[in-house]
Structure 1
Amino acid sequence: MSAIPNRKVRKSSNYKNHFIVAGILAGIGLALLAYLMFYVAPVETLETVKVVAVTSQGCIGETLDGYAVNIGNCNAEPGDFISALVDQKLKERAALMNPTN
């Protein structure tokens, strides 16, 4: 006889715990996907911008409300007004990082 009593080891094929863990991981994955789709995906609108500079990476424009944006390749000179796609979420993030008040 030993000092440790013989206990039967329970071998259960309880899949309930596996489904709970898989459900939690799937929920986390869906939450991350929703974050990527809603907060990170661009929302581009067509705006009139004033070309400030022409660089090797594209034209830098300033929107009418004062945000600097890279509008890509363009055939304009500094001082010209052109229509370009501007990411609205980029403007929102810039406003949060640089409060005016």
Structure 2
Amino acid sequence: MRTEEPPVTPGGAPSTTEELPFFVYGTLRPGAYNHDRYLLGRTGTEDDAVLPGAVLRDGPGYPYVVPGEGRVAGSLVTAAPGSYGELLGVLDAMELPAG
């Protein structure tokens, strides 16, 4: 019996029809530099949130979150109706290395 693998997104994660919220931090938070460039008009809700069990590292290149004994402040963002795929693509393009 053959089972099919789930479809995979360009970022490598299994594709799903469920529209999950995004945890954003740093320059993607409301009022920060990249928020208006990437999120403005594409979000439904933006609520303050904390990611427990994580710490923020300063690079190289740009800050990133890793597991650790801490908490990272950010925002939990949902996509505006009909904008989930577009928002996912924009965030992937920002986060994934070019090439």
TM class, shorter-chain normalised? under 0.3
Pick the structure with more strand per residue. Answer: 2
Pick the structure with more helix per residue. Answer: 1
TM, length-normalised to structure 2: 0.28
Higher RCO (Cα < 8 Å, 6 or more apart): 2
